[in-house]
A = this chain, B = another copy of it.
């Protein structure tokens, strides 16, 4: 697997070569400046994240006001974004919008509503929900008034919302940024500010019907983005508890042992075993019994086998878990997604609040370089791209009377999807359009600025996406070049003679065909050209 840092250095080298080449060729200034921008952005990625650390969730102690490399000269102050955060440039935004649109249309197809909650919550709302990871929560300074923290995920605010507004059933999605003081690995798509994209179904319903829809949604989203093969691993917290009980783990060690099992997708068994025995004081033979179970994965045949395992079926929780999984797999069959689902007994998920089915979508087989290289350890694991599960107790933690609202949901790893789609776009070499401009208005002579304004007004009033220069007098050649570079399909040209005869010139940029059009027919003619251009061409923009 490729070393990310050297990949980045490679990219910087080739981007530098491109810039030099463009400068030698005296290419268009805008184009050069754009490529220089990309180069600077690559350099700053390398600079901002100089030493990726392996320790996960390590709280930072040292002051870090390093200047990013690639910046020089005297500065009044450090010009950078906060550690672990980034700006999104227009081309990245266009890709992001494209990903959002696909995901949101899937949620809407399933009849979900959306809600929004504030970016910060009372500190006590988040207390006691994240176990060890609580140290990664950003607190706001005490400036008098309430003690506040930035949200760590969207699930706890959702549960708070349900309890506070006494909502007992809802199917909602929420796409918003969350905040974690983690060690960023930005070139691998791990940030301190990042989007989460959650879909949850709350309500007292029949077993596995909401649960299976979450899997269906993950399958629809990942299929629609066409980013390589994947599988959704499923398991059940009650089954895990049953396994632990059957193997002889004492009750109070269930959660720590569950955390250890969670590491199996990235850490080899001997290390995990060591953690169980040495750190968590488990009997070695108990650990080995657990290992016998958590290696197993499969489908209905595995279920059958487990349902005949007497030490397991003597545990009530194990049986309940197995019954749920059985029904879930049956419903997956009806949804035609069985080939995407794998019952995987090592799946544990980190968070404490899961109480039933848990899932995690991971890449398998062929995929883009970014997808393949984005796993931190880069040896055992494959990249996780979505995850979730059932949490029936969380809302009750917020309710004064402990009234429960059962919930199940999934969270799509949308930042990784952005990275992958970005890499795909750059690999394809196709230019990403950052605007949707359809018409560019050009004057043939000097002193036409007010005529141009009137023309733009007419086009905007007709809801045609239109731009013009902010220069009073322009060169036609430069204007045409701008249209070509930015992919604007139609130019409208006016000069004194056109105004006198009540016409405009319409130029179709793809064919360079130019014709005269009566001013009264202009809108109709433009619409026809736009319709035929968009049907002939493959869509130029990823976001459209």
Q: Which B residues touch A116, using CB under 8 A? A: 87-88, 93, 96
**Oligomeric state, in copies:** 2
Q: Which B residues touch A302, using CB under 8 A? A: none
Tell yes or no: A188 within 8 A of B by CB: no
Say whether B453 contacts A334, CB under 8 Å: yes
Q: Write out, one digit per residue, whether chain A residues 144-185 have a CB within 8 A of any chain B CB (1) or not (0).
A: 111010100000000011011111101010000101010000
Using known A-B contacts A88-B116, A434-B113, determine if residue A140 contacts B143 with beta carbons closer than 8 Å. no
Q: Which B residues touch A54, using CB under 8 A? A: none
Say whether A141 contacts B141, CB under 8 Å: yes
Cβ contact of A79, chosen from B60, B163, B330, cutoff 8 A? B163
- Which positions 322-375 of chain A face chain B at CB distance < 8 Å? 330-331, 334-336
Tell yes or no: A450 within 8 A of B by CB: yes
Tell yes or no: A62 within 8 A of B by CB: yes
Cα A168 to Cα B465 in complex, Å, equals 23
Say whether B111 contacts A467, CB under 8 Å: yes
Using known A-B contacts A73-B401, A138-B140, determine if residue A330 contacts B109 with beta carbons closer than 8 Å. no
Cβ contact of A470, chosen from B63, B143, B203, cutoff 8 A? B203
Which of A2-10, A35-43, A274-282, A490-498 contacts its partner? A35-43
Tell yes or no: A15 within 8 A of B by CB: no
Q: List 28 A-B contacts (CB under 8 A).
A: A78-B122, A79-B163, A79-B164, A87-B115, A88-B115, A89-B165, A93-B116, A109-B465, A110-B465, A110-B467, A111-B435, A111-B467, A113-B434, A120-B193, A138-B143, A139-B141, A140-B140, A140-B150, A141-B141, A141-B142, A145-B181, A203-B470, A209-B449, A220-B460, A331-B449, A334-B453, A334-B457, A335-B457
14 additional contacts, CB 8 Å, given A85-B120, A138-B143, A141-B142?
Answer: A62-B144, A64-B146, A77-B125, A79-B400, A87-B164, A90-B114, A110-B460, A110-B467, A111-B435, A111-B437, A139-B141, A334-B453, A335-B453, A336-B457
